[in-house]
Structure 1
Amino acid sequence: MKKLLLTVTLGACSHLLLAQQVISVYAVTIPDSKPSDVKESTVTEANGGIRISNVIQPTLTVYKPAKEKANGTAVIVCPGGGYARLAFDHEGLDVAKRLTEMGVTAFVLKYRLPNDQSQPDKSIAPLLDAQQAIRLVRQRATEFGVNPARVGIMGFSAGGHLASTAGTHFAKPVGQDPTNTSVRPDFLVLLYPVISLTDSLMHAGSRTNLLGNTPTADQIRLYSNDQQVSAQTPPTFLVHAADDKTVKVQNSLRFYEACVRRGVPAEMHLYPKGGHGFGMNNQTTKDSWVDRMQNWFDANGWLVK
């Protein structure tokens, strides 16, 4: 029994052992921010799941691979949670650990969730943080040991909406940057992503949290990212389950079809079952989408030192 308890204790601490540092996304002033009584909340559930809400200070938790494995590729990971909270463990920290095993340096983004009390324009706060995270990784690439031309972004569910927004809205960044560092990701990885905010395909909670109860037609079009794909959209890897009742599989299908129309290299893996929010482990299949992603990375040269 003592041995079992020790194993559990070490497992619970594994994230702390692997995470080299937690850094602020912004050096000084946080844009689109105003004083409020909003306080960040972190809850650890009975199963060990970590849920974070009311994010005020966006951060990146850095996971570095062993030096002999490091290949220079970086991935910014955006956990999901309907733009209401962040599923920070199984769609964030656990994924980062797995990426380091591939030699990839991972950055788990604790991004601000839309909040009228603490943000003048809640619709742009998450994207501001994602774009600044991309800038920061590129600007400090030497420090992190990464190639600034190999910085991708990955997102789950609403985090997939944020990642796909970063991959389609980079031509007109929402924030100002005097260094003119590119905010275009070099590739996208989208897991059961929220893509369309149209009435027929939207995840209602994500749309309401991001755009409010009565979004305009222009807002819906702007943030329906299948409608924003261009020839410059980065290569994309998609995963979804056909029986997803929370975020319809047509979200991934629409984005994939848009990529094909625009000549954007895209790979998609659809599973008949799995539902929503399965993280790295779809228990309905022996197939591993993570292995498929690793193959995709390898085929594109992102695992080469």
Structure 2
Amino acid sequence: MNRRHFLASVAATLVATKSELSFASSLYGQSQIIPLWDGVPPGGGGPESKMIVSATGAQHQIAVPTLTVMTPAHPDGRAVLIAGGGGYKRIETGKESLPAAQWLTRRGYTCYILSYRLPSEGWNDGALVALQDAQRALRIIRQREKSVSVLGFSAGGHLLGMAAARPEFQSYPPTDKLDSLPAQADSAALIYPVITLEKPYTHTSVHRILVSPHATAKAEAAWSVQNYVTPAAPPFFLVQAEDDPVSDPANTLIMYAACQKAGVPVEMHRYASGGHGFGMGKPGTPAAAWPRAYEKWLEHRSGTGK
């Protein structure tokens, strides 16, 4: 992608995103859209036409990665970076990111909805592009807020799990002074996440897109979140249903064990039923209980708990 196409894509993306989120800003305070990069994103490439948003609010063909900021009436420096899932094929903004942001904004948190690049959409840096965007987003937020937690669903949980566990990893060459800031999260909540790409858990879209169906064991290990949990990792909050047909229920158990081994604070909530992709929870189902537990955990980790 050249600079002329990039600028045209910026304009188209801002219009599309503002249209999608205008109703949310009217109900839940002010919002703004921040492009992650001042120019063409690291590596270049990618789609050259505007972002496509489905009838349910899922995004793909993301030429310009952005943060959509939703601000409560009385912001106090507590922020949450949110990444929806979609198997790195799309981002379920309408079903996951936006409802979570609305819920959190009502509770006083400033929310940053991440529209990250999808590795399969022709970017020259391939599998790295979503992680580049997540790290850049953390740097932007850290210069604006007092604390930053991350909340990721499904593939978004894989993405923000990698970002939270690997703050020192240089996924792209520095582009400006902002890239000298740490890409560090203070805490991380991962909801029905894909954690491991190692065998036998190789059936997911995340595995297929990031490492390919015929990946080596080394490549699978390199993209498995649990392998990067060290004592320096932030506290984690994990949620999964035991009948999840997409992300094997073993994923949260694997992450929980990695945190315990490293001495990292971890809280896990598993539910007998709920499947996959339940977002903030379907009323009347067991998995609908997770937001209340998350609220208490986040208050404590953001410095407001008693």
Moved more, 127-136 or 21-30: 21-30
1:210 is matched with 210
Residue 211 of structure 1 aligns to which amino acid in structure 2?
V
Work out whether 1:126 is the aligned partner of 2:126: no
User: How has the CA–CA distance of structure 1 residues 244 and 35 changed in structure 2, closer, same or farther, with 3 Å as cutoff?
Assistant: closer
1:300 is matched with 301
Tell me the distance in 2 between the aligned counterparts of 1:101 and 1:278.
20
Q: How many Å apart are 1:167 and its aligned residue?
A: 1.3
Deviations 1:128-177 (A, max 9, x none): 000000011122x1xxxx21xx1111100000000101012222221233
Which of 77, 89, 101 is the matching residue for 2:94? 89
Tell me the distance in 1 between the aligned counterparts of 2:211 and 2:274.
29
User: How has the CA–CA distance of structure 1 residues 301 and 157 changed in structure 2, closer, same or farther, with 3 Å as cutoff?
Assistant: closer
What is the DSSP-based 3-state SS (H/G/I as helix, E as strand, rest coil) of the residue aligned with 2:127? coil
Q: How many Å apart are 1:219 and its aligned residue?
A: 1.6
1:64 is matched with 71
CA contact (8 A) 1:64 1:106 kept: yes
Deviations 1:9-55 (A, max 9, x none): xxx963142351111011223112226556531111xxxx2111121
CA contact (8 A) 1:53 1:85 kept: yes
CA contact (8 A) 2:235 2:266 kept: yes
Q: Comparing both structures, which one devotes a greater share of its residues to helix?
A: 2
1:96-111 residue pairs with structure 2 within 5 A? 96-111=101-116
Q: How many Å apart are 1:231 and its aligned residue?
A: 0.8
Tell me the distance in 1 between the aligned counterparts of 2:236 and 2:46.
38
Tell me the distance in 2 between the aligned counterparts of 1:93 and 1:197.
27
1:188-207 residue pairs with structure 2 within 5 A? 188-207=188-207
Tell me the distance in 1 between the aligned counterparts of 2:206 and 2:46.
24
Work out whether 1:230 is the aligned partner of 2:230: yes
CA contact (8 A) 1:198 1:220 kept: yes
Work out whether 1:26 is the aligned partner of 2:37: yes
CA contact (8 A) 2:88 2:118 kept: yes
User: How has the CA–CA distance of structure 1 residues 95 and 35 changed in structure 2, closer, same or farther, with 3 Å as cutoff?
Assistant: closer
Tell me the distance in 2 between the aligned counterparts of 1:239 and 1:125.
26
Tell me the distance in 2 between the aligned counterparts of 1:131 and 1:40.
21
1:151-230 residue pairs with structure 2 within 5 A? 151-177=148-174, 179=177, 180-230=180-230
Tell me the distance in 2 between the aligned counterparts of 1:167 and 1:109.
15
**Structure-1-length-normalised TM-score:** 0.86
Tell me the distance in 2 between the aligned counterparts of 1:13 and 1:27.
24
Tell me the distance in 1 between the aligned counterparts of 2:228 and 2:98.
29
User: How has the CA–CA distance of structure 1 residues 121 and 227 changed in structure 2, closer, same or farther, with 3 Å as cutoff?
Assistant: same
Q: How many Å apart are 1:83 and its aligned residue?
A: 0.4
1:4 is matched with none
Residue 174 of structure 1 aligns to which amino acid in structure 2?
S
Residue 275 of structure 1 aligns to which amino acid in structure 2?
G
1:237-248 residue pairs with structure 2 within 5 A? 237-248=237-248
Q: How many Å apart are 1:228 and its aligned residue?
A: 1.5
2:140 is matched with 136
Deviations 1:177-230 (A, max 9, x none): 354200021110100000000131234211111223332322211111112211
CA contact (8 A) 1:73 1:303 kept: no
Q: How many Å apart are 1:116 and its aligned residue?
A: 5.6
User: How has the CA–CA distance of structure 1 residues 38 and 213 changed in structure 2, closer, same or farther, with 3 Å as cutoff?
Assistant: farther
User: How has the CA–CA distance of structure 1 residues 38 and 122 changed in structure 2, closer, same or farther, with 3 Å as cutoff?
Assistant: farther
Q: How many Å apart are 1:282 and its aligned residue?
A: 3.9
What is the DSSP-based 3-state SS (H/G/I as helix, E as strand, rest coil) of the residue aligned with 1:297? helix
Q: How many Å apart are 1:287 and its aligned residue?
A: 5.2
Tell me the distance in 2 between the aligned counterparts of 1:35 and 1:121.
10
CA contact (8 A) 1:240 1:252 kept: yes
Q: How many residues are paired up?
A: 279
Residue 124 of structure 1 aligns to which amino acid in structure 2?
L
Aligned alpha-carbon RMSD (Å) = 1.9
What is the DSSP-based 3-state SS (H/G/I as helix, E as strand, rest coil) of the residue aligned with 2:126? coil
Q: Which runs of 5+ in 2 are unaligned?
A: 1-20
Work out whether 1:50 is the aligned partner of 2:54: no
Work out whether 1:41 is the aligned partner of 2:52: yes
